[in-house]
Structure formats: structure tokens, C-alpha cells
């Protein structure tokens, strides 16, 4: 008795099944429905669908204006959509999500000025469709053709190349081509777009053919993925039969081979009913080891889905309400938008695309309606708890978004897990509002975990303290008198201002804040001000730093001496009277004395006999004492026209 082993991946892939299901649904709703190009590469299945009311149009002219149109699974160029829109047609898109993903890639890369290379079969509908989403694409079927393009100068080492592959491309061809590209080109972006189902199908065929004495490959002769299975099988198995349907079944010939093991696989576009017809013609000796026949295995659901189970599927479609996922079962699976993420800033368009693989937890199975409700955020939470626990164990920093403020502190979302951060651990001063943290990304340590109560506590303050300590050590390693820093005013006292210079506090004495006399530091700086300071003193033993704020270039005396000399006339402002004369401001911060004998050209008893506070008058500079930084002025010298030293 021969032992028959059937490839688990035989038959429709999800992209083909989706396209066929869409065709059947449309045909039931309205007839006729036009499919632009063959919906899949299987003549028998196309005939079956045409019997339901679907018509295959090989040119756009064959499609009447306003007719319902189904886009084939292989996809079409962008211009087809534009033409159908002009014709007023209602379009249903059955393009395989994996192929749609390639369309997006080439469109984006071409728009950025890069050259597109497609590895695949020229003229194949999928390749034609991909090329139609960019202005120009070079298509290579073999590594030798690709290598020759560089040798002939079609491409150079510096060309910006973006490379994609036909979803059904032979993995070996892709791998060799990638090696050539990496060797030949220094500016190459490689996108591995071979379908996972194709990889799995080819890998399983390779394994099965290697241990079988005879292989049967079922599928249409025009199907690229079926041809690949046949080519792979031929390299590893001595006898390989490529049949399209039951009419080509060669039971007698296979029986005569007397092979103890027979391997069977089918292309991704081969429907189950064709495989069943073949299996029905197999003799009783050719039963699978489990006692079930081939058709029964294919008819069986891949697996039963249970509530709470973690599953992996492929995104098929996205709507404003939910994401449709293919799980390889007959039921349709959906993830409601609110079940995608706990992150309030989560952007569905940026993170989820048709063709993406996605993990989720089964929330509810409705067998009556054939629906499965999933949750992605619950998977994220499960993974998140593991990451949160690892972060606490390893004392690593966690990043999260602050989602809300409450009376006790704030709440952050990290890895889909709710983390409470007490007010004392937010790093926000007691009198400040914590609301400024909401919707911001923060770093924190996990300080407490109670898995049973689903309680996690974190601390932003611990991260800030650690960072401040590290910064302080770095400052003390390099600090020297004269170093300049940018700092933040942290607090004010009656005798000065304390400034954080990056992890270390230094003090600016009130006398170093201004060249003029001030009563309080608040006259010059405020808490929170960003200031430039320089080190004027260090006490490393007690870790104290004295800072300077006022600049030499702002010294009023230097400004005065740069503008005036003895003998110059200055416009001065009377500030106050003394028994021996009046003080007047020459420039801000520098006063001069007008002796009572120098106020008028006649004798006066008091300065206020001729002057008023705030009055501006012209005065002659008659003396500058650099050592004592004093200036003598004379109004009388201007009135009499005489120099003081001539008096």
C-alpha cells in the first residue's frame, strides 16, 4: 500500500480565496459583473464563476460605462482605476493585500526619485500591475539578467535603486539577486515582498518532494506559483506529475511506479473542488496515513477558534469602524478600532496596512453569524506586562504617554499597560500643576507591580534624579574657574540666586547680579529664567560653586571711560543734593559730583537754588579718578568758558 502525504498548504491562499468570495458575493447581488483580467490563474474556476454571472473583460473597452467591476487578485496599474472612474464604473477591489502593499512601496519610492527594479516574470499580470504604479520599472526574471544590467551600464553603483519581487518569486532566485545587488550597488533599498504563503508552500513542497518517490502537483498551467512548485519538485523527486484537473489523472502510471510514498501539493489558485475530483479518482490503496482522504483534509477548517486564544492573521481591509483579518478559517474576523491600542495617539493609517501580519486575542466567536471578534490591544497588554516586569527586574527606563491627571498623580500608558505615577514621583514641584504632563511622552522607572490587582506604579522623579546625579558628576569632572554655563534660576534668597547649571546648583551673590545697587535678586532675575553664568569660585570639598552673572563688557565705568574723557561735555541728570553740591548721572551706573562751587558763575548757599531733581543739564568733566572711580563735573566752567585749573 502506498503512503500518501498531502501538503498542508495545498489549495487556495487567503488572497485568492478572498477574490473568489468577492466574485461570488457580487454575482449574487447583481449581474453581470465584469472582472478586468482573469480573476485568478485557474481556467476551471473562472468558468465556474462565469456560470454565476461574472464576465471576464480583457480590455477596458469591453466594460460598459457604469458597470460593476471587480479588480483581479493580481492587481492592475493605477491608470485602470482612473479609466474606470471616468467610465462611471463601481469598482470592487480584489487585489491581494500583499500585492497592494507592493503598489504602495513602488509608488512612494518612485515619488522620492528612486529607480524601481521588479524581480519577476515580464508580462505576468501581477508584474504589469506593479509597474503601473510608478513611471518606469525595470523587470528582471533571473539573476543573470540583473547582473548583466550592471555590466552593460544600464545601472551604476551609485544609482538609487529600490527593489521589490513578485509575490510568487522563487526564493532562491530572490536570494541570489539580493547578493548581486548588495555587491553591485551602494545605494539600494531592498523590500522582500515574496508572500509568506508562497515561502511556506515552496518550503513544504521542497521537503515533501525530497522524501517522496512520486509527486503530484495540481494547478493551472498558467499559474506562476504552481509552476514554481512543479520546478522545485522536479529538482528533488524522480517522478513529478503536473495536472490541471481530474481528467489528467494518471492513476495506472503512478501505480506502476510502485512508489511507497506519494507527495501531493496544489497551487494557491487551485480550488478545493478540483483537488476533490482528483482525490475521488484515487484508488483505495492511496489513503492518507490518518485514514482520512485527501478531500476531507482540504475541506476541514484549518483550526477551531476559541475565546481567549491568541491568533495570528493577515490584514485584509480597513474601515473607519474595524480591521478585517484573515485567520485561514471560514469565519470572518474583525478587530474593532477601539481594540487596536490603548494609546490615545495611535494612528491606524500609519500603523496598519492591508497585507500586514497581526497578532490578536479572540474575544468572541459567533458561529451563528460566522464572525470572530478580536482584540489587538489585549495581545499588546500581555506582551506589555512581560516588558513591564522585565523593566522592573532589570531597572531599565520605560517610556510612556501620560494619558490623564487625577488627584493622586498622573496615569501613563506603556506597552499597553496602565502605570500610575504618584504626584510626589512626577518631578513636578508641589505648587505646580501636573496637567502640563498630559499627552507628553515621559521616561520613568517601574517601582511596584501587583499583577493580580493589575496595579503598576512608576516614578519620573527617580529618572530625573539619576540623570541629575550623572550630570552632576560630569560637571564636577570638568568644572574650572572661568567656565561658562547656561543655567536655570531655581530659587531666590535675600542674598542671591541659586542656578542649576546642568545637575549642579551654584549661587550668584546679590553683588554679582548687577553693576548697580539692588535690594533683592528679583530685580534682575526670576525663578525659571534661562541665564548665562560663569564660575568665579569653587569649593570642591564642600561642593559649592560661586557664579558670576554681570559681565565686564556691561560694566558702567568701562562704558563711561570709553565714551568720555576729561574736558568733554556730557548731558547729565540731577539725582540728589548734598550740603557740598549735587550728584548727577552721566551714564547708567556712573554718577559725577558737581561741587557747590561749580554749579553757578556766582556764589550760592545751596544746590537747589539753581538745580532741580531730575533736571538734565550740560556739565563739563573736569576730573576722572580711575583708582576711586569718581568723576568731578562743572556747570560753571561752561558758563564762564574757563578751565577749572585756570581758576
pLDDT above 50 for 302: no
* Mean pLDDT for the chain overall: 85
Specify the DSSP element, H or E, that contains 216: strand 214-218
What pLDDT is stored for residue 298 in this prediction? Answer: 45
Give the whole-angstrom CA distance, residue 188 versus residue 157: 9
Question: Which whole number is the average pLDDT over 384-406?
Answer: 90
3-state SS class at 132: coil
Q: Which three cell numbers stand for residue 644?
A: 577749572
Q: Which of 70-84, 278-292, 375-389, 463-477 has the lowest mean pLDDT?
A: 278-292
Which of 379 and 583 is assigned the larger pLDDT?
583
Give the whole-angstrom CA distance, residue 11 versus residue 20: 13
* Percent of the chain predicted with pLDDT > 90: 41
Eight-class DSSP state of 188: E
Note whether 115 and 154 are within 8 A (CB): no
What pLDDT is stored for residue 643 in this prediction? Answer: 57
Question: Which whole number is the average pLDDT over 336-365?
Answer: 85
Question: Which whole number is the average pLDDT over 99-115?
Answer: 94
Give the whole-angstrom CA distance, residue 119 versus residue 127: 9
Q: Which three cell numbers stand for residue 19?
A: 477574490
Q: Which three cell numbers stand for residue 258?
A: 510502485
3-state SS class at 490: strand
Q: Write out pLDDT tens, residues 273-292.
A: 777 777 666 644 454 433 44
| 11 HSE (CA, 13 A, CB side) | 22
Q: How far is CA 518 from CA 119, 311, 323, 523, 561, in A?
A: 78, 72, 67, 7, 23
- pLDDT confidence band for 252 (50 / 70 / 90): low
What pLDDT is stored for residue 154 in this prediction? Answer: 93
- 3-state percent breakdown (helix, strand, coil) of the chain, nearest 5: 35, 30, 35
Note whether 391 and 446 are within 8 A (CB): yes
pLDDT above 80 for 7: no
Note whether 188 and 212 are within 8 A (CB): no
Per DSSP, helices labelled H in 395-514 are 460-478
What pLDDT is stored for residue 20 in this prediction? Answer: 85
Q: What is the pTM of this model?
A: 0.47
What pLDDT is stored for residue 291 in this prediction? Answer: 42
Give the whole-angstrom CA distance, residue 330 versus residue 233: 30
What pLDDT is stored for residue 304 in this prediction? Answer: 58
Q: Write out pLDDT tens, residues 507-554.
A: 999 988 888 778 899 988 999 899 999 999 998 888 899 998 887 677
What pLDDT is stored for residue 492 in this prediction? Answer: 92
Eight-class DSSP state of 646: G
pLDDT above 70 for 94: yes
Active site positions, annotated: 126
pLDDT above 90 for 108: yes
Give the residue from 378, 408, 410, 412 showing the smallest Cα distance to 398.
412
What pLDDT is stored for residue 2 in this prediction? Answer: 59
Note whether 208 and 188 are within 8 A (CB): no
Give the whole-angstrom CA distance, residue 575 versus residue 292: 112
Beta-bridge partner residues of 218: 243, 266
Which of 125 and 280 is assigned the larger pLDDT?
125
Note whether 106 and 325 are within 8 A (CB): no
Rg (CA), the chain: 42
Say if residue 34 is preceded by a cis peptide, omega within 30 of 0.
Answer: no
Question: Which whole number is the average pLDDT over 222-232?
Answer: 88
Note whether 35 and 57 are within 8 A (CB): yes
Question: Which whole number is the average pLDDT over 289-306?
Answer: 48
Q: Are strands 398-406 and 371-375 parallel, antiparallel or unpaired?
A: unpaired
What pLDDT is stored for residue 282 in this prediction? Answer: 63
Which residues 6+ apart lie within 8 Å of 429 measured at CB? none
Note whether 509 and 544 are within 8 A (CB): no
- pLDDT confidence band for 301 (50 / 70 / 90): very low
Q: Write out pLDDT tens, residues 161-215.
A: 999 999 888 888 999 999 999 999 999 999 999 887 777 788 888 888 988 888 8
Give the whole-angstrom CA distance, residue 438 versus residue 576: 55
What pLDDT is stored for residue 368 in this prediction? Answer: 46
Give the whole-angstrom CA distance, residue 362 versus residue 347: 22
DSSP string, 305-366: --TT-EEEEEEEEE-SSEEEEE-SSSSEEEEEGGGS-S-TT--HHHH--TT-EEEEEEEEEE
- Any long-range contacts for 279-288 (C-beta under 8 Å, 24+ apart)? 280/246, 281/246, 281/249, 281/251, 282/4, 282/251, 283/251, 283/255, 285/1, 285/2, 285/255, 286/2, 286/4, 286/262, 287/4, 288/4, 288/5, 288/6
Give the whole-angstrom CA distance, residue 273 versus residue 571: 108
pLDDT above 50 for 579: yes
Give the whole-angstrom CA distance, residue 542 versus residue 520: 26
Question: Which whole number is the average pLDDT over 208-229?
Answer: 88
Q: Write out pLDDT tens, residues 472-482.
A: 888 888 888 88
Amino acid at each position: 500500500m502506498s503512503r500518501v502525504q498531502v501538503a498542508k498548504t495545498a489549495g487556495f491562499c487567503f488572497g485568492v480565496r478572498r477574490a473568489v468570495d468577492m466574485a461570488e458575493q457580487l454575482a449574487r447581488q447583481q449581474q453581470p459583473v465584469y472582472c478586468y483580467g482573469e480573476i485568478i490563474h485557474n481556467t476551471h474556476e473562472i468558468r465556474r464563476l462565469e456560470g454565476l454571472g461574472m464576465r471576464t473583460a480583457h480590455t477596458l473597452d469591453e466594460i460598459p460605462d457604469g458597470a460593476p467591476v471587480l479588480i483581479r487578485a493580481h492587481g492592475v496599474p493605477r491608470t485602470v482605476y482612473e479609466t474606470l472612474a471616468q467610465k462611471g464604473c463601481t469598482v470592487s477591489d480584489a487585489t491581494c493585500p500583499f500585492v497592494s502593499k507592493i503598489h504602495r512601496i513602488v509608488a512612494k519610492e518612485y515619488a522620492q526619485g528612486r529607480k524601481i527594479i521588479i524581480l519577476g516574470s515580464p508580462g505576468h499580470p501581477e508584474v504589469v500591475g506593479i509597474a503601473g504604479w510608478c513611471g518606469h520599472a525595470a523587470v528582471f526574471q533571473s539573476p543573470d539578467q540583473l547582473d548583466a544590467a550592471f555590466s552593460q551600464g544600464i545601472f551604476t553603483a551609485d544609482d538609487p535603486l529600490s527593489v521589490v519581487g513578485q509575490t510568487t518569486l522563487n526564493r532562491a532566485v530572490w536570494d541570489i539577486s539580493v547578493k548581486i545587488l548588495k555587491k553591485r550597488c551602494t545605494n539600494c533599498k531592498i523590500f522582500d515582498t515574496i508572500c509568506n504563503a508562497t515561502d511556506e508552500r515552496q518550503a513544504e513542497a521542497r521537503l515533501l518532494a525530497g522524501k517522496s518517490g512520486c509527486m503530484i502537483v495540481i494547478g493551472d498551467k498558467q499559474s506562476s506559483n504552481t509552476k514554481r512548485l512543479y520546478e522545485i519538485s522536479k529538482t528533488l523527486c524522480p517522478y513529478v506529475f503536473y495536472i490541471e484537473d481530474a481528467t489528467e489523472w494518471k492513476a495506472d502510471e503512478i501505480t506502476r511506479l510502485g512508489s511507497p510514498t506519494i507527495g501531493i501539493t496544489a497551487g494557491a489558485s487551485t480550488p478545493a473542488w478540483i483537488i476533490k475530483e482528483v482525490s475521488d479518482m484515487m484508488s483505495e490503496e492511496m489513503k492518507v496515513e490518518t485514514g482520512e482522504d485527501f478531500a476531507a483534509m482540504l475541506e476541514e477548517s484549518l483550526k477551531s477558534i476559541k475565546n481567549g486564544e491568541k491568533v495570528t492573521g493577515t490584514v485584509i481591509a480597513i474601515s473607519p469602524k474595524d480591521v478585517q483579518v484573515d485567520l485561514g478559517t471560514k469565519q470572518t474576523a474583525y478587530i474593532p478600532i477601539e481594540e487596536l491600542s490603548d494609546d490615545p495617539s495611535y494612528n491606524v493609517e500609519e500603523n496598519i496596512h492591508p497585507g500586514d501580519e497581526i497578532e490578536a486575542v479572540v474575544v468572541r466567536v459567533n458561529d451563528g453569524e460566522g464572525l470572530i471578534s478580536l482584540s489587538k490591544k489585549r495581545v499588546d497588554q500581555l506582551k506589555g506586562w512581560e516588558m513591564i516586569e522585565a523593566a522592573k527586574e532589570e531597572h531599565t527606563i520605560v517610556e510612556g504617554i501620560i494619558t490623564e491627571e487625577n488627584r493622586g498623580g498622573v496615569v501613563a500608558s506603556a506597552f499597553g499597560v496602565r502605570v500610575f505615577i504618584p504626584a510626589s514621583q512626577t518631578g513636578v514641584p508641589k505648587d505646580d500643576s501636573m496637567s502640563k504632563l498630559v499627552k507628553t511622552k515621559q521616561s520613568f522607572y517601574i517601582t511596584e507591580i501587583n499583577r493580580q490587582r493589575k496595579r503598576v506604579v512608576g516614578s519620573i522623579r527617580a529618572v530625573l534624579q539619576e540623570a541629575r546625579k550623572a550630570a552632576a558628576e560630569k560637571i564636577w569632572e570638568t568644572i574650572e574657574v572661568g567656565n561658562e554655563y547656561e543655567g536655570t534660576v531655581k530659587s531666590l534668597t535675600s542674598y542671591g540666586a541659586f542656578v542649576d547649571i546642568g545637575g549642579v546648583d551654584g549661587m550668584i551673590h546679590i553683588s554679582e547680579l548687577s553693576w548697580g545697587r539692588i535690594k533683592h535678586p528679583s530685580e534682575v532675575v526670576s525663578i525659571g529664567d534661562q541665564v548665562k553664568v560663569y564660575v568665579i569660585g569653587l569649593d570642591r570639598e564642600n561642593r559649592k560653586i560661586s557664579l558670576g552673572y554681570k559681565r565686564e563688557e556691561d560694566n558702567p565705568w568701562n562704558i563711561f571711560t570709553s565714551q568720555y574723557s576729561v574736558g568733554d561735555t556730557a548731558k547729565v541728570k540731577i539725582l540728589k543734593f548734598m550740603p557740598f553740591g549735587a550728584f548727577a548721572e552721566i551714564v547708567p551706573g556712573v554718577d559725577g559730583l558737581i561741587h557747590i562751587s561749580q554749579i553757578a558763575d556766582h556764589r550760592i548757599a545751596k544746590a537747589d537754588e539753581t538745580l532741580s531733581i531730575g533736571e538734565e543739564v550740560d556739565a563739563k568733566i573736569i576730573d576722572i579718578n580711575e583708582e576711586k572711580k569718581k568723576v568731578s563735573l562743572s556747570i560753571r566752567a561752561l558758563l564762564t568758558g574757563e578751565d577749572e585749573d585756570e581758576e
